[in-house]
Chains A and B, each alone.
Chain A
Amino acid sequence: MAGAGVKLLNKRIRSVRNTQQITKAMKMVAASKLQRSQGRMLAARPYSRKLTELMQQLAGQADIGHPLFEVRHVQNRLFVVITSDKGLCGSYNTNLLKLAHKAVDASIAGGTPTAVYAVGRKGADYFRKRGYTMYHAHTDFAGDMSADRGRMVGDRCVEAFTGGSFDEVRVIFAQFQSTMTQRPVDLPLLPIAPEAAAPGAAAQKEKDYIWEPSQAELFGVLLPLYLRNRVFMTLSEAFTSEHAARMTSMSAATENAGEMIGALTLQRNRERQAAITSELLDIVGGANGL
């Protein structure tokens, strides 16, 4: 009898509806996290801008060698790969890891021993499982940024570079372009690229500054701060991207579930109607036979 089909369909509709409720909740959580993360990113910009400006002014005036600028022959390369800890964020990690995998393989193929510094469980698992050299991994950030975490990652990068274990540090993360688009990029972190320090527009409004202490000394203090800040901004941006990706994909999942419920409901109603019709036909046929 057709009643069994209707029962089955009802069960499926209920199950899809449950899933939809979960994805909807996750979307809402991601949205609020995105907002917070984005707010934090914006709040951090004035400091970052000021610091960069100051550094450009200094770099423009003083031709000072600093260990963080030192370009060495690259014998060992380190990739900082920033992914999320958890899934359910669409193709966010897939895209990142695809780029990272390619970059790391290209580096190894070029004859340079390469290690991975994973921020985020997804990246850590991915590279560990495939037997790549891991420099270090963080799996407990949970997409939440703080100054301490920025400092921790930044200091570790500086240590790796100045300690001589790595001659180049690059960072792979998802740039936040909009809530809908996050673009994975592969950028150099250390040595600090000369163009990052090149006198930009900021240095043009040249002023006769009094420097206290000397420019060279100031530079020495400023550079580590600058780098730490860059790492901080990079991480904030990556985490903002993660929340955006999660929100978008959960929103899509909720929509899909809605469509599925619609289609299933239609099918159920049709089947129910067919069952009623055939029963009616039975009755009518029976009545006619009398």
Chain B
Amino acid sequence: MARNFKVVIVTPDRTAYEGEAVSATIPGQAGYLGVWANHAPLVAAVSPGLVTLRTDDAGSEQKFAVGGGFVEISGNVVNLMTDTCEMAGEIDLGRAQKALERARERLSHVEAAMDRERARLAQSRALARLKAARKN
């Protein structure tokens, strides 16, 4: 029985990742989704956050910070479409930290709903980046 499944992460400018995984954790809009092989067909909105792929039974992990987007799961293939995707090694910690501070700062005094939403998204993106970079 197939215990692995295929994961493809695409962004508007490249195919960021393509490979096999044993399990995946994906930040769905309504909470983290745990995906194992033979998952039921699913389409879900993805929030900015941390994607974790377990690539073998020994527990090697690969982490990505992703922007918002969609995930489509069918026939043991996970297709993740997202605005941005960075592997742990590609993340600029200083920049993420600054972005986080900026977003927090804006959230503390900006009133307009639109701007708040934007700041909130920026904040979760920055948090995801920091998480992905630190846990390695």
Q: Looking at chain B's contact residues, is the secondary structure mostly helix, strand, loop, or mixed?
A: strand
Q: State in angstroms the CA–CA spacing of A218 and B40 once bound together.
A: 18
Q: State in angstroms the CA–CA spacing of A207 and B39 once bound together.
A: 13
Q: State in angstroms the CA–CA spacing of A31 and B15 once bound together.
A: 24
Most buried by A among B29, B30, B81: B81
Contact present for A213 and B45 (CB under 8 Å): yes
A40 within 8 Å of B (CB atoms): yes
User: For A44, what are the chain B residues with a Cβ–Cβ distance below 8 Å?
Assistant: 12-14
* Min CB–CB distance A99 → chain B (angstroms): 28
Cross-chain pair count, CB within 8 angstroms: 72
* Min CB–CB distance B107 → chain A (angstroms): 22
Q: Looking at chain A's contact residues, is the secondary structure mostly helix, strand, loop, or mixed?
A: helix
Contact present for B42 and A47 (CB under 8 Å): no
- Chain A residue nearest to B81 (CB atoms) is A50
A50-B12 contact in complex given A212-B28, A213-B30, A217-B45, C-beta closer than 8 Å: no
Contact present for A207 and B74 (CB under 8 Å): yes
Q: Which of B1-28 contact A (CB under 8 A)?
A: 8, 10-15, 28
Contact present for A47 and B10 (CB under 8 Å): yes
Q: State in angstroms the CA–CA spacing of A61 and B123 once bound together.
A: 34
Q: State in angstroms the CA–CA spacing of A44 and B70 once bound together.
A: 16
A212 contacts which of B11, B15, B43 (Cβ < 8 Å)?
B43
* Min CB–CB distance A259 → chain B (angstroms): 42
User: For A47, what are the chain B residues with a Cβ–Cβ distance below 8 Å?
Assistant: 10-13, 15, 81
Contact present for B43 and A211 (CB under 8 Å): yes
* Min CB–CB distance B82 → chain A (angstroms): 9
- Chain B residue nearest to A40 (CB atoms) is B13
* Min CB–CB distance A44 → chain B (angstroms): 6
A50 contacts which of B40, B72, B83 (Cβ < 8 Å)?
B72
Contact present for A43 and B41 (CB under 8 Å): no
User: For A150, what are the chain B residues with a Cβ–Cβ distance below 8 Å?
Assistant: 12
B79 within 8 Å of A (CB atoms): yes
A-B contact pairs, 5 of them (CB 8 A): A50-B10, A211-B42, A213-B45, A225-B69, A229-B12
Seed contacts A40-B13, A44-B13, A47-B10; 18 additional CB < 8 Å A-B pairs: A43-B14, A46-B10, A46-B15, A54-B43, A58-B43, A147-B13, A208-B41, A209-B42, A210-B40, A210-B42, A211-B43, A212-B45, A213-B29, A213-B44, A217-B45, A221-B45, A221-B70, A229-B12
- A interface vs B, CB < 8 Å? 40, 43-44, 46-48, 50-51, 54, 57-58, 147, 150, 207-213, 217-218, 221-222, 225, 229, 232
